[in-house]
């Protein structure tokens, strides 16, 4: 499709980071084919609504808001205004948790996902560790609606996830009191951008602020996750928390041995950037 090349150059001009890939993915979405099948779309079948999609992306609306879905590990999730678009870097942390839960000598491990957003982490765990039971906590009413939709969507697509994710509306500061001392793994991708930090338009203009910003150093929500995790975890329980690339050292010290944690480790994402911390509650 020659239109894709034109769209890619318009997106490049608008400052989009991956113009060719986005132009192709939007064309594939609009014509109901895989990206690799775009050459099968005849010129006579070209859908002019593609140019509306291109204009939205030129205005820096996230690609996933335009297509309505985001891929997270083996899941396709519904996303749009009011919910954080799940990111590839979070897939690595979810994978770490899935590996630990898979090898865990516990019949039905209990997991808490603090700040579930679209439900990405909770649903990936439920899909890949069918014996796990996952409690997904979210405080933002709009995000809760998206999570509900995705939990239902996944239950329809992968029956074994049905009933394995329980959505719990509320602040993760005080959440899940009924599970105090009984959780095997706490995982969280909380807001961690320092207030006032520069972000791309896709983030600053389209993602919910409650999913992004967290105090002057960006660590306020992570400190709350630390307090909640020490309350929820059983002895020997595991913690994984995502953070921004420059925050690895700060987050390490939030979960340091001096604070009662053990085996605290920094982990990199697929780009080699410091991305999440794991620890054990002894
Ligand atoms: C960065 S997003 C992550 C969403 C999802 N876990 C993911 O990885 O795609 C953080 C989420 O935490 C929620 N959140 C922030 N502070 C919270 C709090 N104190 N209690 C409950 N949810 C909170 C936000 O509304 C947002 O949905």
Supply the pTM of this predicted model. Answer: 0.96
Say how many C-beta atoms besides its own lie within 10 A of residue 56's C-beta: 15
- The reported pLDDT for the residue numbered 156 is 86
Q: 221 and 189 in contact (C-beta within 8 Å)?
A: no
Whole-angstrom distance, CA of residue 68 vs CA of residue 97: 27
266 φ, ψ (degrees, to nearest 5): -95, 145
- The reported pLDDT for the residue numbered 82 is 97
Residue to mutate (ligand 1; options 125, 139, 175, 276; most atoms within 8 A of CB): 139
Please check the confidence at residue 1 and state whether its pLDDT lies above 80: no
Tokens of 222: 């992570």
Whole-angstrom distance, CA of residue 14 vs CA of residue 7: 11
- The reported pLDDT for the residue numbered 277 is 98
Burial class of residue 279, CB neighbours in 10 A (0-12, 13-18, 19+)? buried
- The reported pLDDT for the residue numbered 157 is 84
Sequence-ordered list of residues with C-beta below 8 angstroms from that of 152, at least 6 positions apart, any chain = none
Give the pocket of ligand 1 (CB within 6 Å): 84, 86, 90, 115-118, 120-121, 137-140, 143, 171-173, 189-191, 210-211, 221
- The reported pLDDT for the residue numbered 281 is 98
Whole-angstrom distance, CA of residue 52 vs CA of residue 236: 53
Please check the confidence at residue 179 and state whether its pLDDT lies above 80: yes
In tens, the pLDDT along 267-281 reads: 999 999 999 999 999
Residue 132: closest CA among 238, 271, 12, 242: 238
In tens, the pLDDT along 41-53 reads: 988 899 999 999 9
Residue 85: band (very low, low, confident or very high) from pLDDT cuts 50, 70, 90: very high
Whole-angstrom distance, CA of residue 231 vs CA of residue 185: 12
- Count, residues in the chain: 282
Distance 93 CA to ligand 1 centre (A): 15
């Amino acid at each position: 499709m020659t239109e894709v090349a034109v769209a890619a150059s318009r997106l490049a001009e608008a400052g989009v980071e991956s113009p060719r890939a986005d132009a192709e993915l939007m064309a594939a979405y609009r014509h109901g084919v895989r990206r690799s099948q775009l050459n099968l779309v005849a010129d006579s079948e070209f859908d002019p609504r593609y140019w509306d999609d291109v204009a939205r992306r030129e205005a820096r609306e996230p690609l996933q808001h335009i297509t309505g879905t985001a891929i997270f590990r083996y899941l396709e999730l519904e996303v749009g205004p009011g919910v954080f678009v799940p990111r590839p870097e979070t897939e690595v942390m979810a994978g770490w948790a899935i590996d630990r839960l898979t090898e865990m000598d516990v019949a039905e491990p209990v997991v808490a996902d603090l700040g579930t957003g679209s439900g990405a982490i909770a649903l990936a765990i439920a899909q890949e560790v069918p014996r796990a039971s996952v409690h997904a906590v979210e405080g933002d009413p709009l995000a809760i609606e998206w999570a509900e939709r995705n939990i239902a969507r996944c239950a329809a697509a992968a029956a074994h996830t049905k009933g394995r994710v329980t959505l719990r509306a509320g602040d993760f500061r005080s959440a899940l009191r009924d599970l105090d001392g009984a959780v095997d793994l706490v995982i969280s991708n909380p807001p961690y951008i320092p207030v006032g930090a520069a972000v791309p338009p896709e983030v600053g203009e389209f993602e919910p602020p409650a999913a992004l910003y967290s105090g002057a150093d960006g660590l306020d929500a992570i400190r709350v996750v630390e307090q909640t995790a020490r309350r929820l975890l059983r002895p020997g329980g595991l913690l994984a928390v995502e953070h921004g690339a420059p925050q690895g050292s700060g987050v390490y010290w939030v979960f340091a041995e001096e604070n009662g944690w053990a085996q605290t480790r920094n982990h990199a994402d697929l780009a080699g950037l410091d991305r999440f911390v794991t620890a054990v509650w002894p």
